[in-house]
Amino acid sequence: MEEKENPIIQEIEQEEENNGVTESTPLISDPKSVNTKLTEVEIHLYRRGKGPIDVFKSSLTGWDQDKLEVREILDKYGFKSIFAFSPGSGRGVPIRFNQRNGRSLVGYKDGSVIYVDGEPQDSLIKPATKIILGIAFITLLITLVLKEPPKFLKKLDISGGNFPPWVLACIVIVFTRMRKRTRNFLQKYCAMSVRRRTLLKVIVLGDSGVGKTSLMNQYVHKKFSQQYKATIGADFVTKELQIDDRLVTLQIWDTAGQERFQSLGVAFYRGADCCVLVYDVNVMKSFDSLDNWHEEFLKQANPADPRTFPFILLGNKIDIDGGNSRVVSEKKAKDWCASKGNIPYFETSAKEDLNVDAAFLCIAKTALANEHEQDIYFQGIPEAVSESEQRGGCAC
Output the DSSP codes for 22-64. HHHS-S-S-GGGG--S--EEEEEEEETTEEEEEEEEEE-BTTT
d(Cα 384, Cα 264) in Å, to the nearest integer?
33
Q: Structure pTM?
A: 0.47
Angle between helices 356-370 and 212-221 (to 10 degrees): 90
The answer to whether the beta carbons of residues 310 and 369 sit under 8 Å apart is yes
Q: Which amino acid is at 298?
A: L
* Other CB atoms within 10 A of residue 99 CB: 8
Question: Where does the chain hold its CATH 3.40.50.300 domain(s)?
Answer: 197-391
d(Cα 199, Cα 179) in Å, to the nearest integer?
34
Q: How far apart, in Å, are the Cα atoms of 373 and each of 189, 356, 391? A: 18, 28, 20
Q: Which pLDDT score, from 0 to 100, does residue 34 have?
A: 40
pLDDT (average), residues 20-43: 53
Fold annotation for 197-391? Rossmann fold (3.40.50)
Residue 103, phi then psi, degrees to nearest 5:
-95, 155
Strands laid side by side in the 50-59 sheet: 50-59, 40-47, 113-120, 79-86, 90-94
**Residue 268 pLDDT class (50, 70, 90 cuts):** confident
Strands laid side by side in the 311-316 sheet: 234-243, 246-255, 197-205, 274-280, 311-316, 345-347
**Residue 386 pLDDT class (50, 70, 90 cuts):** very low
Q: Please count the residues of the chain.
A: 396
84 forms beta bridges with 116
Neighbouring residues of 158: CB distance < 8 A, sequence distance ≥ 6: none
CATH code: domain 36-120 is 3.10.20
Residue 91, phi then psi, degrees to nearest 5:
-70, 140
d(Cα 291, Cα 231) in Å, to the nearest integer?
21
Q: How many CA atoms lie within 13 A of 257 on its CB side?
A: 20
Q: Which has the higher per-residue pLDDT, 367 or 260?
A: 367
Q: What share of the chain is helix, strand, coil (3-state, %, to 5)?
A: 40, 25, 35
**Residue 242 pLDDT class (50, 70, 90 cuts):** confident
For 200-227, write each residue's pLDDT tens digit.
Answer: 889 999 998 898 988 998 998 888 766 5
For the chain, give me the number of helices (H) and strands (E)?
A: 12, 13
d(Cα 142, Cα 148) in Å, to the nearest integer?
10
pLDDT (average), residues 363-369: 85
pLDDT (average), residues 270-299: 92
Instruction: Region of 159 please: left (phi>0), alpha (psi -120 to 50) or beta.
Output: left
Q: How many CA atoms lie within 13 A of 389 on its CB side?
A: 12
Q: Is pLDDT of 2 > 70?
A: no
Question: Where does the chain hold its CATH 3.10.20 domain(s)?
Answer: 36-120
User: What is the separation of C-alpha 124 from the centre of its chain, rounded to a whole number of angstroms?
Assistant: 29
